Amino acid sequence: MSDATPFVTVIGLEVHVQLLTRTKLFCGCSTKFGAAPNTQVCPTCLGLPGSLPVMNRRAFELAVRAALALDCTIAPFTKWDRKNYFYPDLPKGYQISQFDLPFSSDGHLEVVDPKGAFAPRNVGIIRVHLEEDAGKSMHDEAAGTGDSRIDLNRAGTPLCEIVTQPDLRSPQEARAWLNELKLLLVYLGVSDCNMQEGSLRVDANVNLHIPQPDGRIAKTPIVEIKNMNSFRSVERALTYEAARQWEEWRETKAEMGKTPKQTRGWDDPAGVTRAQRHKEESSDYRYFPEPDLVPVTVSEQDVAAARAAMGTPPTELRRALETTWKISAYDADVLVNQGRDLVDYFEEVATKVGEGKVASNWLQQDVLRILKETGGSIADFRVRPAVLADLIGRVTRGDFDTSRGREILAQMVADGRPLDEVVAGMGIAAVSDDDVVSLCRELLADNPKIVADVKGGKEQAAAGLIGQAKKKNPNVNPGKVRAICLDLIRAMP
Amino acid sequence: MQPLELSAVDLVAALRQGDVTAVQCATAFLDRIEATNPAINAFLHVDREAALSRAADIDARRRAGKPVGPLAGLPVALKDVLCTADMPTTCASKMLAGYRPPYDADVVARLRRADAVFVGKTNMDEFAMGGSNENSAFGPVHNPWDHSRAPGGSSGGSAACVAADMAPVAIGSDTGGSIRQPAGLCGITGLKPTYGRVSRRGLIAFASSLDQIGPMARSAADCALVMETIAGHDPGDSTSLTTEVPRYTDLLDKPLTGVRIGRVPEHFAAGLDPEVAKGVEEAFAVLKAAGATVHDVRLPHAKYGIPTYYLIAPCEASSNLARYDGAHYGRRETALAGGHRETALAARAAGAAAGFESPLVEMYCRSRAEGFGPEVKRRIMLGTYALSAGYYDAYYAKALRVRRLIRQDYLDAFQTVDLIGGPVSATPAFKLGEKTDDPLAMYLVDLYTVGTNLAGVGGISFPCGFTKSGLPIGFQLQAPPLAEPLLLQAADRFQRLTDWHRRRPKAAGEGRA
């Protein structure tokens, strides 16, 4: 409970992620997003009479990988169940899902804010199960005829449902946790977690715990929020809903358990949650074991194989970057949050440069800025790690200064030419020490006042020389110019 | 050469030797269908042109010395529960009237590859739910032995068409006895294989954990021949078995010496028609004479077979039939037909006034109310109720437990015997209309057959005599999982020693002995 609010917001999440399989969960149709409606379908995903499902092993492997990364226990025996309900985008009239024996349960995922916006939060995972997605309904309310159009391309896409314990304590935490979950799943190669394309969907359960004067904790009725299409809207919806429940509590003093769980939809443009019709919540799904599929047994070897395919998850990677490259937790967080490709890029640069901090600075201050401006990804970034390392090395050696280095980087990004060519093209031929010395002698001759000031003990006056040096020869290293000028002045009689 | 008189085995041989062409053969059966079907109503769809052109193609290939399949030219009738890409597939339901699947069932594809010639789709109880064929939306099938009687069901059309010589072989499906019971009532041979032996892909599901496809023919040998084509693993059916398919026809001609056949005393309790009891006892005597020994065995939970079956099957059916909602294919009844805004709004208002929650729900309700017959609705309601929250444990979960006990009974019994014999049905063919007002009486026609399905084992039914009034009496043998070779061998041995299976119904006969 924060000082500002007289209640604790208690949040649990239900996340659906589409798995990155080439084909659907129970048939061979493509899962590619964006095809013309109803072109990626077959008798099985259309639910035609007589069609049968056959499990996609790959989907199961990916799901096990995700569950292991969430530290879940993998069941040695799991089965499929039918969840029965009528809807036009559910062509069989039932969804093949998992009811009482999910393939995994009892895990957790921690979220840490490196800037300490909230205390580290370890969120329990109740279960992760696998199921098939439904199709998509497009309602044409405007036409007034009530026509709806159904696209079954999505029907049968493998979905992992991840259900958390009600362990989150603020909308901000919920958003951060979702970011962490997404990052993990993307690292694992399990899902692309693209919310725009619907490959990650979130429902949230929320209520308030309100301490009473008598020491009792009053709990407001749990509300499930649906229709949130970004992590930002999850945070906004939860913030709105907590405030709404507080107002409602103040008016009604209604507590949990007296009414059935309410479902509310998030209206993003209006910024409010709205109650959904009562009918939709009281469904009885009449679950029973799916007779068309055989139960799945998962051996220790299967689990070991999934673990081997897991790679390094973000939390471990952050720690590894901190210790190997001596960078701060914050820097490690920024780099890791950009994804595996950027981390690989960083490690290659850091290895070649032989130092982590400088590589991290270049990535954060320059590479990420450029990527943000151009909207590109690190995988397509023109300047490969070896070249960036070369550039950083030259700056460190003093061939040119950092700002010159930045210009060179920008130029390489712009026209894709090799480093040496860009350097030559910009006239940044390395300046010989003799040239620098003669340049400095000229400067000293032209600036008796500065010479006098320095002699009088004001070394900072030498800065005035550097600007002039750069004008005469833009390629000179300012540090070098300064050092040589000072040496020359000291050597003066 | 009269194709109608030959067994499937002999017919295939005659076709191979060129004694008869596929076209001659198809023509003979198609003519027979044309003459006989109006009285029997065994077929819902006959495609003479396609069958003849297919037969002509097979003849041409054979003449050209090109390879042909093992059943080349053999006419086969398909129960209308099997998806066929080139013929309508209706499950004898208004719901699917005119429906054409975009694909062939696995069995259909196998038969096609074997160069069988499909003569048509046979009538059945709607969605395979029933034991008399009276639940067809397209009229009942008449038993060829007595047109006023039911052929049994649900594969009544398949049984009747073989009994009336309209096809040498038909494919049926058996969920609680739907191959064996009509085979028994029509005097033919029908095999319900072990669950998983024949792929269910393309079989329109009634109760997925019980459904199994099998052959119906004049003899066990003919069934063995067809099994060699239709049995086998299908990667498209997760429940299909990977065990290699034996050459059933090669395993037939073995003596029954030492084969132990179980006899369940409870099968001969009250309710069994005395003439049927007599026929069945005589069949045991024939098997004994052939070298088998007969032993009493117990199936202690058999008495729970019917209630268990009538929970599991409707539960699965209620879910399997949910897809018939008017949304994607099949029958749609909606007040919203037509696109004008005013009409639509008026219809929506009317629907709301009639108590429908939404136009969508109205479409579901009307489509299903109009599309399904009463028995299908009854079972959907039974299943929906039994699966509902609060009832699941008392009904479905308990039924699953009893089912395991029933299976264990069989496995235990098969420790001491190799086969279990007995009646197929308690009575010979009953009158059309006799049981239609009494669903419970109708459910009891499956009394001796449901156990096989619940246990997932195999069973065969074949004629073992006739009543004084000339109705066939069926005998059933059940076997352990995958013991089809023994089932077929025993039935074939019986048929080498008897001629019940050679008798043809006079009512349907035309110049036949």
What is the per-residue pLDDT for B353?
86
- Structure tokens given for A217: 């904790």
What is the per-residue pLDDT for A450?
86
- Of residues A419 and B10, the one with the higher pLDDT is B10
Please name the residue of chain A whose CA is at the shortest distance from the CA of residue B208.
Answer: A291
- Of residues A148 and B494, the one with the higher pLDDT is B494
- Alpha-carbon radius of gyration of chain B: 23
Parallel, antiparallel, or unpaired for β B458-466 and A272-275? unpaired
Q: How far apart are CA B159 and CA B43, in angstroms?
A: 11
B99 near A CB under 8 A: yes
A183 has pLDDT over 90: yes
Write out chain B residues lying below 8 Å of A287, CB-based: 387, 392
- What letter represents residue A411's amino acid? Q
Range A441-470 average pLDDT? 84
Among candidate residues B7, B79, B93, B132, the one labeled active-site is: B79
What is the per-residue pLDDT for A464?
82
- Asked if B396 lies within 8 A of A293 by C-beta distance, the reply is no
What is the per-residue pLDDT for B329?
86
Range B495-510 average pLDDT? 84
H or E segment and range at residue A273: strand A272-275
What is the per-residue pLDDT for A428?
67
B102 has pLDDT over 70: yes
A100 near B CB under 8 A: no
B328 near A CB under 8 A: yes
Mean pLDDT is lowest, of A17-21, A416-420, A423-427, B201-205, for: A423-427
B29 close to B168: Cβ distance less than 8 angstroms = yes
Query: Which one of B80, B328, B382, B395 would you mutate to disrupt binding with A, by most A Cβ within 10 Å of its Cβ?
Result: B328
- Asked if A286 lies within 8 A of B319 by C-beta distance, the reply is yes
Q: How many CB pairs under 8 A join A and B?
A: 114
Confidence bin at B355 (pLDDT 50/70/90): confident
**Three-state SS letters, B1-30:** CCHHHCCHHHHHHHHHHCCCCHHHHHHHHH
Question: Which residues make Cβ contacts (< 8 Å) with residue B28, sequence separation at least 6?
Answer: B2, B3, B4
- Asked if A286 lies within 8 A of B384 by C-beta distance, the reply is yes
What is the per-residue pLDDT for B56?
98
Q: What secondary structure letter does DSSP report for A350?
A: H
Among candidate residues B93, B178, B219, B367, the one labeled active-site is: B178
Please name the residue of chain A whose CA is at the shortest distance from the CA of residue B91.
Answer: A49
Query: Which one of B124, B206, B323, B341 would you mutate to disrupt binding with A, by most A Cβ within 10 Å of its Cβ?
Result: B323
Range A97-109 average pLDDT? 97
Q: How far apart are CA B434 and CA B154, in angstroms?
A: 16
Range B78-104 average pLDDT? 97
Percent of chain B with pLDDT over 70: 97
B78 near A CB under 8 A: no
Measure A91 CA to nearest chain B CA, in Å: 6
Confidence bin at B63 (pLDDT 50/70/90): very high
Mean pLDDT is lowest, of A210-214, A437-441, B123-127, for: A437-441
Instruction: Verify whether residue B79 is a known catalytic residue.
Output: yes
- Asked if A82 lies within 8 A of B319 by C-beta distance, the reply is yes
Confidence bin at A221 (pLDDT 50/70/90): very high
What is the per-residue pLDDT for B360?
86
Confidence bin at A74 (pLDDT 50/70/90): very high
B389 near A CB under 8 A: yes
Greatest CA separation for chain B: 80
- Asked if B316 lies within 8 A of A91 by C-beta distance, the reply is no
Mean pLDDT is lowest, of A57-71, A416-430, B194-208, B338-352, for: B338-352
A415 has pLDDT over 90: no
Write out chain A residues lying below 8 Å of B99, CB-based: 49
Range A135-160 average pLDDT? 83
- Asked if B96 lies within 8 A of A286 by C-beta distance, the reply is no
What is the per-residue pLDDT for B350?
83
What's chain A's average pLDDT?
91
Q: How far apart are CA A420 and CA A422, in angstroms?
A: 5
pLDDT in tens, A266-297: 999 999 999 986 554 457 999 999 999 999 99
What is the per-residue pLDDT for A468?
84
A421 has pLDDT over 90: no
Write out chain B residues lying below 8 Å of A86, CB-based: 322, 325, 364
- Asked if A144 lies within 8 A of B238 by C-beta distance, the reply is no
Write out chain A residues lying below 8 Å of B349, CB-based: none
H or E segment and range at residue B359: helix B359-371
A402 close to A358: Cβ distance less than 8 angstroms = no
Residues 25-84 of A with CB under 8 A from B: 43, 46-55, 82, 84
Among candidate residues B7, B93, B132, B154, the one labeled active-site is: B154
pLDDT in tens, B304-353: 999 999 999 999 999 999 999 988 888 888 765 555 667 777 877 888 88
Write out chain A residues lying below 8 Å of B315, CB-based: 288
Instruction: Verify whether residue B178 is a known catalytic residue.
Output: yes
- Asked if A286 lies within 8 A of B348 by C-beta distance, the reply is no
Report the b/e string of B174-208 with b at 16+ CB within 10 A: bbbbbbbbbbbbbbbbbbbbbbbbbbbbbbbbbbb
pLDDT in tens, A295-305: 999 999 999 99
Range A228-246 average pLDDT? 96
H or E segment and range at residue A449: helix A448-455
B237 near A CB under 8 A: yes
Write out chain A residues lying below 8 Å of B96, CB-based: 49
- Asked if A146 lies within 8 A of B359 by C-beta distance, the reply is yes
**What are the φ/ψ torsions at residue A454 (nearest 5 degrees)?**
-65, -45
Q: How far apart are CA A48 and CA B202, in angstroms?
A: 9
Range B81-89 average pLDDT? 97
Q: How far apart are CA B293 and CA A75, in angstroms?
A: 48
- Asked if A50 lies within 8 A of B205 by C-beta distance, the reply is yes
Confidence bin at A399 (pLDDT 50/70/90): confident
Please name the residue of chain A whose CA is at the shortest distance from the CA of residue B327.
Answer: A88
What is the per-residue pLDDT for B115?
98
What's chain B's average pLDDT?
95
A59 close to A18: Cβ distance less than 8 angstroms = no
Question: Which residues make Cβ contacts (< 8 Å) with residue B435, sequence separation at least 6?
Answer: B132, B441, B442, B445
pLDDT in tens, B128-137: 999 999 999 9
Confidence bin at B507 (pLDDT 50/70/90): low
- Asked if B389 lies within 8 A of A286 by C-beta distance, the reply is yes
- Asked if A43 lies within 8 A of B323 by C-beta distance, the reply is no
Residues 127-146 of A with CB under 8 A from B: 143-146
Q: How far apart are CA B289 and CA B351, in angstroms?
A: 70
- Asked if B341 lies within 8 A of A49 by C-beta distance, the reply is no
